[in-house]
Structure 1
Amino acid sequence: MTITTASSATTGTVAMAPTKGLAGNFDTFLKILTTQLRQQDPLSPMDATTFTSQLVQFASVEQAIQTNTKLGELTRLARASSTTSAMGLLGQEVSARADRLSLPAEGDVTIRYRLPKPAAEVTVSVLDAKGRVVGTVVGSRTAGENAVSWNGIAPDGQRLPAGEYDVRIAAKTADGSPLAAEQFLRGRVQAIERKDGDLQLRVADALVPLDTVSLVRQPGPSS
């Protein structure tokens, strides 16, 4: 089981610091205000409206910081809850929308997609990090789910480095009109990771956002 999350201890400490500092300043402000009121000239009293306005503004700022602190705590609790829920997906077989693949060091990789209806032509292109096409496969034209294998061999005949690559699928009808193809990954959830604040699932050695999962099922004996 692999779960990678960011620690919230430091965040909690930092969030509480402004509130504690403001509370101390607020007490000091009240002491100064009380002292000034006691020592004011009876013949020229201070403007109570100004003091009251300052007091209200100071209290409003304190309340706002406390509210932000509570919201931060709720956010951390929500993240912890979502992580706990995602743990139930470990080892499960899922299908998730994805336009990337993870090429292993050896062997082929499977590229999956769905067609809304039969196509006259399907071309599957694999691109590297610079957007260059490093592989092309003729895809199945059947309506519904399709799968093709890519051997990871570049046009020059060399095996490409293991890692993640982008996938683009171009499908056309008989009259040449483009046909939308939905790309997806299928496999067991190998790990749960948090990336850029969002939960990601590692499926077929590739990371996919949790909200892209469209199907979850118990893996079969042969999975």
Structure 2
Amino acid sequence: METTATRDPVNGVNYVDTSGGSTGIAGAQSLAETFDNFLVLLTEQLKNQDPLSPMESNEFTSQLVEFTGAEQAVLTNNKLDSLISLQNGNQLNSVVSYIGKTVTANSLALNLDESGEATIKYSLGANSETTEIRIIDADGNTVTTLDGETDGGSHEIVWDGKNAAGEEMKEGIYGFLVVAKDANGDVVKTTQGTKGKVTGVESDNGTLVLKLGELFIPLDQISSVEETKDATT
């Protein structure tokens, strides 16, 4: 449904804004397309000015310059929007090659896919006495705890998708937390991530993200890319 908004007349000229379509400079139309409206505005302004104090020529010229400047600013913004849209399109095409590849990414979440498994990557800054990997559901509950490696360095572990009672969990996004402690009970510095197959690419408000099932990973969080190994090999 078309709606209109009106303002008080300015120098005898009514202003009407129709949301269903563009009007004047607000609609990014050129000066040529709105020239009739401009002439009406100019005529009414001249008719309503004080004869004893007419507008000075430099003030009148200034108004013309401002009018044209506003139009150019809108046109420039439109061209910039077009360039940004084109750039995003080119970037999207450039990352399509990620689809089908296996990537490792920094993440506090993982995707339990249709295979019923999810791969966790983590790194210990030093040797630990104990390493626990807690799998957390959407409600914040720990569904199971895995025993991790205690040697310093990078490690990988596969969660079989089951909770502590051995029941299979449904597919989707889960959080996980790697907790490593040394012999004194002090926390060992860790980094954590996930590994999975890229199933798609999307643009989220101009930011390109890779889809690992239901999990979205920004490109700047990707640490490695490799060919996906055939399940039969």
TM-score normalized with structure 1 length: 0.75
Q: State the Cα distance separating 1:69 from its structure 2 match.
A: 0.8
Unaligned runs of 5+ in 1: 1-12
Pair 1:166-2:175 in alignment: yes
Q: 1:74-85 residue pairs with structure 2 within 5 A?
A: 74-85=83-94
| 8 Å contact from structure 1 (residues 135, 152) kept in 2 | no
CA distance in 2, matches of 1:196, 1:127: 28
Pair 1:133-2:142 in alignment: yes
CA distance in 1, matches of 2:69, 2:221: 41
Pair 1:90-2:99 in alignment: yes
Alpha-carbon RMSD: 3.5
Q: State the Cα distance separating 1:46 from its structure 2 match.
A: 3.5
The structure having more radius of gyration, on CA atoms, is 2
Aligned residues: 210
Q: Which residue of 1 aligns with 2:69?
A: 60
Match of 1:118 among 109, 127, 132: 127
Q: Which residue of 1 aligns with 2:202?
A: 193
Amino acid at match of 1:208: I
Q: State the Cα distance separating 1:19 from its structure 2 match.
A: 0.7
Q: Determine helix, strand or coil for the equivalent of 1:56.
A: helix
Amino acid at match of 1:162: E
Residues 149 and 218 from structure 1, CA distance in 2 versus in 1: closer, same or farther, beyond 3 angstroms? closer
CA distance in 1, matches of 2:123, 2:35: 63
CA distance in 2, matches of 1:106, 1:91: 15
Q: Which residue of 2 aligns with 1:101?
A: 110
Unaligned runs of 5+ in 2: 1-20
CA distance in 2, matches of 1:117, 1:172: 10
Instruction: Decide which moves more: 75-84 or 129-138.
Output: 129-138
CA distance in 2, matches of 1:27, 1:55: 15
Q: Which residue of 1 aligns with 2:13?
A: none
CA distance in 1, matches of 2:121, 2:82: 41
Instruction: Decide which moves more: 162-171 or 103-112.
Output: 103-112
Structure 1 or 2: larger helix share?
Answer: 1
Identity of aligned residues (%): 35
| 8 Å contact from structure 1 (residues 185, 204) kept in 2 | no
Residues 170 and 37 from structure 1, CA distance in 2 versus in 1: closer, same or farther, beyond 3 angstroms? same
Q: State the Cα distance separating 1:115 from its structure 2 match.
A: 1.6
Once the two structures are superposed, residues 102-151 of structure 1 have per-residue CA deviations (whole angstroms, 9 ceiling, x without a partner) of 22356443322112222222111111112222221121112222122333
TM-score normalized with structure 2 length: 0.73
Pair 1:183-2:208 in alignment: no
Residues 48 and 110 from structure 1, CA distance in 2 versus in 1: closer, same or farther, beyond 3 angstroms? same
Q: State the Cα distance separating 1:26 from its structure 2 match.
A: 5.4
CA distance in 1, matches of 2:192, 2:26: 47
Q: Which residue of 1 aligns with 2:218?
A: 209
Q: Determine helix, strand or coil for the equivalent of 1:153.
A: coil
Q: State the Cα distance separating 1:186 from its structure 2 match.
A: 2.6
Q: Determine helix, strand or coil for the equivalent of 1:166.
A: strand
Larger relative contact order, structure 1 or 2 (CA cutoff 8 Å, min sep 6): 1
| 8 Å contact from structure 2 (residues 31, 68) kept in 1 | no
Q: Determine helix, strand or coil for the equivalent of 1:73.
A: helix
Match of 1:146 among 138, 155, 169: 155
